[in-house]
Amino acid sequence: MRSLAPYILIFVAALLLPLFANDYWAVIGARAAVYWVLVAGLNLVVGYGGQLAIGWVALLTLGSYTAAILVARFDLNPFIAYAAGGVIGALAGVVVGLPALRLRTFYFAMTTLGFATIVTQVALAWQSVTGGGIGLPGPMLAAPFDSAWGFYLLCLGFAAVVTWMTANVASSRYGRSLVAIRDAEVAAEATGISKARLLVLVFLFSGFTAGVAGGLFATLQSYITPEAFSFDLSVTFFIAILVGGRGSIIGPLLGNILLTLLPEFAAPLVAWSTFLYAVLLLAIVLLMPGGIAALLDFRNRKPLESNRSIVPQPDRVRALLGHSPVRDDIVLTNVVLAFGGVRAIDGLDMTIRAGEVHGLIGPNGSGKTTTLNVISGYYSPQQGEAFLGTRVLPHGVPQARSALGIARTFQTPRVIGEASVLQNVMIGATIDGRASFMEAALTLPRHRSDEKRLTARAMAALDVVGLVSLAAVRADRLQHSELRFVEIARALTGRPAFLLLDEPAAGLSTEEIKRLGTLIKAVAEAGTGVLLVEHHADLIFDICDHVTVLNLGRELAAGTPAEIRAHKEVVSAYLGA
Amino acid sequence: MLAAILAAGLAVGSIYALIGVTYNIMFSASRVMSFTSGQLGMLGGVFGALCIGRLHIPIIPGFVLAMTGCALVGLVTEIVAVRPVLKALDQHLYVLSTLGFALMIQTFTAIEFSTEPQPFPHLLGIGQGGPLDEKFWLPVVACFATIIGLELLYRRTLVGRAFLAIAEDNFAARALGLPERNLRMASFALAGAVGGLAGFSGGELLLAFFANGATLNFLGFVPVALGGLGNNRGAVIGGLALGVFQQAANFLMGGVFAGVAVFAVFIVVLLAAPQGLFGSPPARRV
């Protein structure tokens, strides 16, 4: 799927460089390659994960000093020293990165900035080890890497390997999950993606490449002082990614080359280069938030067919879900949840049976969505419990619901606008992947079979909801009704035992509501229990096996659709005469 | 020793608190945290040194000129780096746009003013040397004057209440017919002046140095993080505590350790209480 042509083009051009240019360009080229080793890893953090790590130069510093100290003081082999720098970088990456689990955007950016300042201060002050302001010699390599072009080719090799690995990660379920926590964090949790685990892996990887880049940087500089690791450099890395565009590899690669070469072509402007980068950053954010990658994205500029309709295939649901027969019920017992003085749920008992469609209706503010949020783990009830069979559903861990077979959709569809429809749907089966992060980075067999399986299942889910023709389209180009069905497809891809739908018919046409109803019934018949929060009374009465009516957080009535339709209070309070 | 720690600590603490207030004023008006906050502090010192030191303008007109300059930079921040990204607040583009603009200010100052710290003129010449030197108490006076002034503005004047209304509920304020955009611009100009005042009053302590911007960005944000976003009193308490803590660590164990200690405290407090010690609980996500 990924087009390899631009990468090969850049690589071949880089290989041919020694034939045309003098030694000076070998140094410039090596610098671009070394920076890229760091930027490629950072790209997963910033471009894919959306974590604004602006102080990544700290890891370059640590890797540099580790390698330089090990070689200068302990006479270690430079390549082992590089690896050691990578390990230190990886550890520091986790330390700097972990606050991202609790802190958002600006706060996280500040902590990385603070860390970068501290590392430089320590490097300056710890003279006995780092040489202070006088500095240290960088590791010297033996032949054939001791010449300018030899070292250039070595760095190019590192850059190529890192490009390959990050591209593999980016196109794996890890890459998709990163984009999911960036653009649709709540939905990502509902599909079972653990932000903590994912970010630790990515910070380890990104820290490692930054540390290795640091070692290479020390050799490139041949002598390192704290001044070499200015904050400007950190900003350059960061800007290269944003100029290139979020969620792209080729874009930041071009951005990195551009930013490294820019000062060379405009020698009088060297003093102004940071100023120019800053202007570039501002201009990109304001005028072209998609960066270079958006300019190169020709596929998503073709107009979509304007007259398209969603045609679900309910008869294929069973094959997609492939259920085992025994299933537990979801049981709520005396659940109470208050926000301040408002008792949103006030002592609710409810049972959602496997293989049935359970309708939940009631006026606005009666606690329908709140009930759904309790079951899916976003809210913790103050009293009472939700059970799956006999097991208590743990509070406050929505990311654990997916493994229990509970999937959901949202009142406002939460999809990743910048990812394709297929990628969005594949998110739903993330936890069914088996390959580890490194297997994905190296495209080992288990990763390849994962991808094959998840793709096939996501395509089957798209087929079921009737959106196969839009699989490759960016999700933000879809209509509202289509997004509703994308969410359902995403939930079904995980083969849930229970499907919680939060107003799935809102904004749909009459015809679409009818098709949705048939689809939901087919899902229940295939063995998946459905909780349907809705305002469309017709849909509820058409397809539900059981209906609960809420009012002010309490059950007003419960029973079959026929019983509810005849219930006097319900008719007067909600349905109207 | 204790007097020296307290004098220096309260002085730098007041500067940090004022930068924290700068963050808060901008945040209240626009829900945006801006990297230009610290740069405004840096500019206060640079403009002061430029007007009074280099151009020999008398102190009071020089002060007014420096504050006007900072207010203008605050205003330009709003127009260039904040207003265009307000539409997509949830994408946090403001982090990047204000970072870009802050870097522009910083490098421009480095190139056009000086890359080395420049002396800041003695303003009054009171209590030279010792813990009662004007360089120690000027920032403290500036900080408390600002806080009292802001309280009076917010509680006693119509414009101030309009500021509060915008901060409390932007949509409702606009529905009531408040000129939201003008108030936002006024807030950013005010924030610019407050940030400038931090740098100006602390000029004799920090000197006029382009790199102060980045330092103040971080150290001025710590009180905001400690005191809770948008909480000015929290920022003052947090700022003074930070200043005294930092100077104590500095005197007792050296500058590098002070830096590490401040960073460690910042991280620990944030991880333990992401909303700050006096902040409000987070909004619901689903």
Domain membership flag for residue B125: no
Neighbours of B172 (CB within 10 A): 11
The span from the CA of B37 to the CA of B6, in Å, is: 25
How would you class B211 by CB atoms within 10 Å of its CB: exposed for 0-12, middle for 13-18, buried for 19 or more? middle
Q: Which residues of chain B are within 8 Å of residue A237 when distances are taken between CB atoms?
A: none
CB contact under 8 A, A118 and B263: yes
CB contact under 8 A, A121 and B101: no
- Which pLDDT score is estimated for A1? 42
pLDDT digit of tens for each residue in chain B (286 aa)? 888 899 999 999 999 999 999 999 999 999 899 999 999 999 999 999 999 988 999 999 999 999 999 999 999 999 999 999 988 777 788 988 999 999 999 999 999 999 899 999 888 877 677 777 888 999 999 999 999 999 999 999 999 999 989 888 888 988 988 998 999 999 999 999 999 999 999 999 999 999 899 889 999 999 998 888 888 999 999 999 999 999 999 888 877 788 888 888 888 888 888 777 776 666 666 6
The span from the CA of A444 to the CA of A436, in Å, is: 10
- Listed in sequence order, the residues at least 6 apart from A497 whose beta carbon sits closer than 8 Å to its beta carbon are A323, A327, A328, A354, A404, A405, A406, A527, A528, A529
The span from the CA of A349 to the CA of A351, in Å, is: 7
B134 and B122 Cβ atoms separated by less than 8 Å: yes
Domain membership flag for residue B223: yes
Domain total of chain B: 1
Three-state DSSP class for residue B199:
helix
The backbone torsions φ and ψ at residue B127, rounded to the nearest 5 degrees and listed phi first, read: 55, 50
CB contact under 8 A, B218 and A114: yes
For A126, nearest residue in chain B (alpha carbons): B256
CB contact under 8 A, B103 and A410: no
Reported pTM: 0.91
Q: Which residues of chain B are within 8 Å of residue A379 when distances are taken between CB atoms?
A: 286
The string of pLDDT tens digits covering residues A77-88 is: 999 999 999 999
- Which pLDDT score is estimated for A163? 96
Report CA A39 to chain centroid distance, whole Å: 18
* Cis peptide bond upstream of A144, omega within 30: yes
How would you class A432 by CB atoms within 10 Å of its CB: exposed for 0-12, middle for 13-18, buried for 19 or more? middle
Q: How many CA atoms lie within 13 A of A160 on its CB side?
A: 17
Element of type H or E holding A531: strand A529-533
Using CA atoms, how far residue A73 sits from A78, A137, A228, in Å, is 12, 10, 21
CB contact under 8 A, A285 and B96: yes
Q: Which two tokens stand for residue A139?
A: 């590791």
The span from the CA of A47 to the CA of A70, in Å, is: 33
Using CA atoms, how far residue B142 sits from A273, A501, B230, in Å, is 37, 57, 20
For B109, nearest residue in chain A (alpha carbons): A275
Three-state DSSP class for residue A338:
strand
A549 and A570 Cβ atoms separated by less than 8 Å: yes
Domain membership flag for residue B28: yes
The span from the CA of B64 to the CA of B238, in Å, is: 28
Q: DSSP states of A349-414 as a string? A: EEEE-TT-EEEEE-STTSSHHHHHHHHTTSS--SEEEEEETTEEPPTT-GGGTGGGTEEE--SS--
Q: Which residues of chain B are within 8 Å of residue A275 when distances are taken between CB atoms?
A: 103-104, 107-108, 111
The span from the CA of A99 to the CA of B271, in Å, is: 7
Q: Which residues of chain B are within 8 Å of residue A106 when distances are taken between CB atoms?
A: 33, 92, 95
User: In chain B, positions 114-173, which contact chain A (CB-CB < 8 Å)?
Assistant: none
CB contact under 8 A, B214 and A110: no
For A113, nearest residue in chain B (alpha carbons): B218
Q: For the stretch A47-84, what's the b/e string if a residue is b when 16 or more beta carbons lie within 10 angstroms of its beta carbon?
A: bbbbbbbbbbbbbbbbbbbbbbbbbbeeebebeebbbb
Q: Which residues of chain B are within 8 Å of residue A111 when distances are taken between CB atoms?
A: 266-267, 270
Domain membership flag for residue B283: no
Q: For the stretch B259-283, what's the b/e string if a residue is b when 16 or more beta carbons lie within 10 angstroms of its beta carbon?
A: bbbbbebbbebbeeeeebbbbeeee
Name the maximum alpha-carbon separation found in chain A.
Answer: 91
The backbone torsions φ and ψ at residue A386, rounded to the nearest 5 degrees and listed phi first, read: -110, 135
Domain membership flag for residue B127: no
Domain membership flag for residue B229: yes
The span from the CA of B213 to the CA of A274, in Å, is: 15
Q: How many CA atoms lie within 13 A of A223 on its CB side?
A: 5
CB contact under 8 A, B256 and A125: yes
Q: Does B80 touch chain A (CB under 8 A)?
A: yes
Nearest alpha-carbon partner for B275 in B234, B214, B233: B234
Q: CA torsion sign, B203 to B204 to B210 to B215?
A: negative
Nearest alpha-carbon partner for B24 in B157, B247, B198, B175: B198
pLDDT averaged over 10-residue windows placed end to end, chain A, 577 residues: 81 92 92 97 95 94 97 94 97 90 84 89 87 90 91 96 96 95 93 93 97 97 92 89 91 93 77 86 87 83 84 91 77 92 90 93 90 93 91 91 93 93 95 93 95 95 94 92 96 94 94 95 93 92 93 91 89 73
Q: Which two tokens stand for residue A304?
A: 């979509």
The string of pLDDT tens digits covering residues A488-520 is: 999 999 999 999 999 999 999 999 999 999 999
User: Which chain A residues have any C-beta within 8 angstroms of a chain B C-beta?
Assistant: 52, 54, 99, 102-103, 105-107, 109-111, 113-115, 117-118, 121-122, 124-126, 185-186, 231, 235, 242, 271-272, 274-275, 277-282, 285-286, 289, 373, 378-379, 410
Q: Pick from A106, A272, A281: which is nearest to B100 by CB?
A: A281
Q: Does B89 touch chain A (CB under 8 A)?
A: no
Domain membership flag for residue B144: yes
Q: Which residues of chain A are within 8 Å of residue B91 when distances are taken between CB atoms?
A: 289
The count of CB pairs under 8 A between chains A and B is 109
Edge-first strand listing for the sheet containing A406-408: A406-408, A498-502, A529-533, A357-361, A546-551, A554-559
> How many residues in total does chain B contain?
286
Question: Domain range for residue B251?
Answer: 2-116+133-272
Q: At B170, which CATH number?
A: 1.10.3470
Element of type H or E holding A501: strand A498-502
Q: Pick from B33, B266, B285: which is nearest to A186 by CB?
A: B285
Domain membership flag for residue B30: yes
CB contact under 8 A, B104 and A279: yes
HEC sequence for A184-201:
CHHHHHHCCCCHHHHHHH
- Listed in sequence order, the residues at least 6 apart from A130 whose beta carbon sits closer than 8 Å to its beta carbon are A65, A69, A122, A123, A124, A136, A226
